[in-house]
Amino acid sequence: MPTSHAPSSLPLFDKVRKFRAVGDLQAVREAGIYPYFREISSAQDTEVIINGQQVLMLGSNSYLGLTNDPRIKEAVCEAVQKYGSGCAGSRFLNGTLDIHVQLERELAQLMKKEDVLLYSTGFQVNLGVISAIVGREDCILADRANHASLAAGCQMSPGKTFLFSHNDMTSLARRLAHLPPEAPKIIVVDGVFSMEGDIIKLPELVKLAKQYDAVIMVDDAHSLGVLGEHGSGTASHFGLVDDVHLIMGTFSKSLASLGGFIAGDSDTIDYLRHHSRPLVFSASMSPANVAAALAALRIMISEPERMQQLWANTARMKQGLLSAGFTLGATETPILPVYVRDTMKTFAFCRRLQDEGVFVNPVIPPGVPPGEEILRVSLMATHTFAQIDRALEKFQMVGKELGII
Ligand code: PMP
């Protein structure tokens, strides 16, 4: 029977053909250890349901454990009743609600910046900010381990990008010293690195930025709710808010929603409002997402004990993994990379842990450099010590079984 499908070997889709031909992926699927797109049929909480099995969630970015909070769900329901399900337009035209502006105001206060602009995802923030502000003559200095969205923003900008070694201020200094003194420069970094879990060496970076007259942009996706006063991020953690010109944040992690923002001086933010394409030409955050982020933000500020618990949970898990003999690298945060250093073994480890009721994320290149494959464990404020101890028991058992410890 002829089908209506188009032929599968169009030259245009060469990359797709090559992807399909990769034997590794097939082998991973055949071995039953393919770890991606696992279907969860419950809320994102400390325990989730996968294929009818209850598993302990140690792979969520919901650091404050707010994604299933009844107060936030209530706020979302109220917003949907009042504003409907979508805004049907961009912020620039018909898509600005009073609650968008309210969220921007409260964020500006928290971040101690003049103004804030919301985008519909954090990825769009990084794309939209860097590509809009960096001109042809400008230089970007970027950490090699920066998030893919920062790298995409750099690629989309007409300026030149210079990479420096991960969190290595000597490497950054070397790069800066070789650039023309008159060229405008921006240093773009993650505050907390999303896979490695280490914190940017901001005090040294600020010194260099001052020496070479460079602007700083920090991606605080994994720092919000984790570091700083009221969870306001990396710059606050180091007492350097006035020295970091632009701070990016997302609502898809601690703030239990979807969307992102950029905080900075009012001139830059106003420029972005009118020139940043992912902002001007994409629909605004939905009412439900805004209401969730606003409610989560208020809870983050009024319940500092959540952040304290997150750190207590992190300390317990980290200590347990280290004393079991696992290697965790330079992490300083609730992101704990367990080094396996082999792709198939990482997938097998992940699969066996899931069989034993523990969900973690396997990260292989390009998420990490080749040879640095990890299981990425991330903690939430709402994990109990009993859950953490159960996870540690399983890690130890499977780690021994696979010869990792
Ligand atoms: N920056 C970093 C460091 C991230 O980890 C992520 C999300 N993985 C983003 C930006 C993008 O954020 P969002 O999920 O809101 O698109």
Mutate to test the pocket of ligand 1, among 123, 189, 253 (most ligand atoms within 8 A of CB): 123
252 lines ligand 1 (CB under 6 A): yes
For residues 221 and 193, is the Cβ–Cβ distance under 8 A? no
Determine the longest span between alpha carbons in the chain, in angstroms: 71
Is 128 touching ligand 1 by the criterion CB < 6 Å? no
Over range 369-380, report the average pLDDT.
96
Give yes or no for residue 360 having a pLDDT over 50.
yes
Q: Is the CB of 143 under 6 A from ligand 1?
A: no
Nearest to 29 by CA among 254, 351, 265: 351
Per-residue pLDDT tens over the stretch 227-275: 999 999 999 999 999 999 999 999 999 999 999 999 999 999 999 999 9
Do 388 and 88 touch, CB atoms closer than 8 A?
no
Residues 63, 233: Cα–Cα separation, whole Å? 13
Give the DSSP letter of residue 277: H
- Specify whether the CB–CB gap between 146 and 368 falls below 8 A: no
Q: Could you tell which of 121, 223, 252, 289 is best to mutate to test the pocket of ligand 1, judged by most ligand atoms within 8 Å of the CB?
A: 252
Whether residue 325 is predicted with pLDDT greater than 60 in this model: the reply is: yes
Mean pLDDT within 338-364: 96
Least Cα distance to 115 among 297, 270, 290, 275 occurs for 270
The tokens 């009412």 sit on which residue?
287
Distance of CA 127 to the CA centre of its chain: 14
Numbered ranges of CATH 3.40.640.10 in the chain: 70-302
The catalytic residue positions are: 194, 222, 253
What token pair was written down for 292? 């969730």
Look at the domain 30-59+304-401 and name its fold: Aspartate Aminotransferase, domain 1 (3.90.1150)
User: pLDDT tens, 62-73?
Assistant: 999 999 999 999
- Residues 251, 257: Cα–Cα separation, whole Å: 5
Task: Please report the ipTM that was assigned to this predicted complex.
Answer: 0.99
Residue 268 CA to ligand 1 centre (angstroms): 21
Q: For residue 26, what pLDDT is reported?
A: 84
Distance 2 CA to ligand 1 centre (A): 43
- In sequence order, which residues have a C-beta less than 8 Å from that of residue 311 and are 6 or more positions away? 334
Residue 6 CB burial class (10 angstroms; 0-12, 13-18, ≥19):
exposed
Q: E strands, 18-95, where? A: 47-50, 53-57
Tell me if 249 CB under 6 Å of ligand 1: no
Tokens describing residue 156: 């989309």
Average pLDDT, the chain: 95
pLDDT at 5: 58
Ranges of CATH 3.90.1150.10 domains, the chain:
30-59+304-401
> What pLDDT, on a 0 to 100 scale, did the predictor assign at position 12?
66
Measured CA to CA, the distance from residue 346 to residue 328 in angstroms comes to 14
Tens digits of residue pLDDT in 118-155: 999 999 999 999 999 999 999 999 999 999 999 999 99
The two structure tokens encoding residue 370: 């080749």
For tokens 């082998």, name the residue.
Answer: 27
Amino acid residing at 219: D
Helix (H, G, I), strand (E, B) or coil at 397: helix
What is the C-alpha separation between 46 and 382, in angstroms, rounded?
A: 7
CA torsion, points 233, 222, 333, 61, in degrees to nearest 10? 140
Q: Distance (Å, rounded) from C-alpha 179 to C-alpha 175?
A: 7
What class, spelled out in words, does domain 70-302 have in CATH? Answer: alpha beta
Cα distances (Å, whole numbers) of residue 33 to 28, 53, 349, 400: 6, 17, 9, 18
User: Do 225 and 300 contact (CB within 8 A), yes or no?
Assistant: yes
pLDDT over 70 (residue 2): no
Cβ pair 273, 262 in contact under 8 A: no
Mutate to test the pocket of ligand 1, among 250, 253, 363 (most ligand atoms within 8 A of CB): 250
149 lines ligand 1 (CB under 6 A): yes
Which band of pLDDT confidence, cut at 50, 70 and 90, is reported for residue 309? very high
C-alpha distance across the termini of the chain, in Å? 54
Indicate if ligand 1 lies below 6 Å from the C-beta of 147. yes
Q: What are the pLDDT digits (tens) for 8-38?
A: 556 667 777 777 766 678 888 999 999 999 9
- Residue of the CA atom closest to atom 15 of ligand 1: 122
Distance 207 CA to ligand 1 centre (A): 27
Reduced to 3 states, what is the DSSP secondary structure of residue 160? Answer: strand
Which pLDDT band holds residue 1 (cuts at 50, 70, 90)? Answer: very low
CB atoms within 10 A of CB 318: 20
Q: Which atom of ligand 1 is nearest to the CA of 259?
A: 15
pTM of the model: 0.95
At 335, phi and psi to the nearest 5?
A: -95, 115
